[in-house]
Structure 1
Amino acid sequence: MKKKIFLLILPFFCVALNLKAQKIGYIDTEYITSKMPEYQTAQAEIEKLTTKWIKEVSDKNDEVAKLERNFRAEEILLTEEMKQQRQRTIIEKEKEAKDLQNKIFGINGELLKKKQDIMKPVLDEVAKAVEKIARAKKLDFLFDKSSDGIAMLYTNPIHDYTDYVMEELGISPDQIKDKEREENEAKTSEDNKGSDATEKPKSNRKNTTPKKE
């Protein structure tokens, strides 16, 4: 019985020994990209494009809504043939609006393709930096802390290589941390001032109630 248990445990023991010999690290790509000027520029471009396309789709829907309002207002004055023509026009415009929306915002739509095109140079730059750091630090595995596909319940900071990747990209982690600390201190100071201002002032009026003799 003991021999069977040993044979069952042996593969897991070997895997554990193998993993122990390998060097593992992690980074936070979401944090890294948020500090990259190139990423912020790309995000602004995507937002601008998204706003433009939303307006185009909205204009199409507004056109349909206007045709429907006009039809309802004039329906009583139209002949049967004219009604059918108006209804066909409305149906065609509705289809155009839906087709445009699917073309831009649908699965594999223009927006997704444009996002991939705009973000590719930025992500390629990060990937090169990641590979360089992984090789320099002789890592066997490098995980992404911000990825939805990996649940990291605990991370030891000694295995965090985020700062190394940022330095490789020309971003100073120390400067960013100092700036964030200053912003937090300034925010805390403002919150404290606001809290003090909302406190009720103590009354300086003396108690004039006469003492009982």
Structure 2
Amino acid sequence: MKKIVIIALLLVLSSLGGYAQRFAYVDSDYILKHIPEYNSAQKQLDALSEQWQKEIDIKFANIEDMFKAYQADQVLLNPEMRKKREDEIVQKEQEAKEYQRLKFGFEGELFQVRSKLIKPIQDRVSKAIQAIADAQQLDMVFDKNSEITLLYANPRLDKSNEVITKLGYKPGANK
């Protein structure tokens, strides 16, 4: 909401300046769908994520089994054996949570792989957008899929196909 207010304020202030601002927008999701490397990278990330999630699910299922076995055996165990089994369950749970954090946490392995695979593609898209904006003397280019909400967008201002072409790909009907 704050971004919308700031943009509206910028638009009002720029209109008072005496010359017309030139705006355009792109649809980043649409652009990325036309880049085979992005689709391939996304499939790799999805496969990794699915694999790691299965491993984590197995770890937690094993912990659940250990806990159920402990509950069944609890009355037969002396206090020392109970404490040992409880500690073992807690340790396994901590290990599973740490594994989950290492794979999916902030700056975890999935984040690092995503950065390695996706960042170069995003950089190319950004450079293509910049080149189009410079060539067409655009003052601002918005991404209609970001947090900024467009209430109206004239289709003639959509530069998504030009970005796809600039990247060397053929725009299609994937929109």
Q: Report the equivalent of 2:4.
A: none
1:23 aligns with 2:22: yes
**Separation in 2, partners of 1:71, 1:23:** 69
**Separation in 2, partners of 1:99, 1:154:** 46
1:98 aligns with 2:97: yes
Counterpart of 1:169 (choices 162, 167, 174) is 167
Instruction: Provide the secondary structure at the position in 1 that maps to 2:141.
Output: strand
Q: Report the equivalent of 2:111.
A: 112
Q: Report the equivalent of 2:5.
A: none
Number of residue pairs aligned between Structure 1 and Structure 2 = 165
1:87 aligns with 2:86: yes
Distance change >3 Å, CA 165–CA 75, structure 1 → 2: same
Larger-Rg structure: 1
RMSD: 2.2
Instruction: Provide the secondary structure at the position in 2 that maps to 1:142.
Output: strand
1:156 aligns with 2:122: no
1:19 is displaced (CA, Å) by 7.2
Q: Deviations over 1:135-175 (max 9, x none)?
A: 11111211111112x111001122221111111112222xx
Q: Report the equivalent of 2:134.
A: 135
Distance change >3 Å, CA 155–CA 71, structure 1 → 2: same
**Separation in 2, partners of 1:19, 1:91:** 68
More off after superposition, 137-146 vs 69-78: 69-78
Q: Unpaired segments of 5 or more residues in structure 2?
A: 1-10
8 A contact 2:26–2:142 mirrored in 1: yes
Q: Deviations over 1:25-78 (max 9, x none)?
A: 111111110121111101001001101110221122122112112212222332
* Larger relative contact order (Cα-Cα within 8 Å, sequence gap ≥ 6): 2
1:20 is displaced (CA, Å) by 4.2
TM-score for the superposition, normalised by structure 2: 0.84
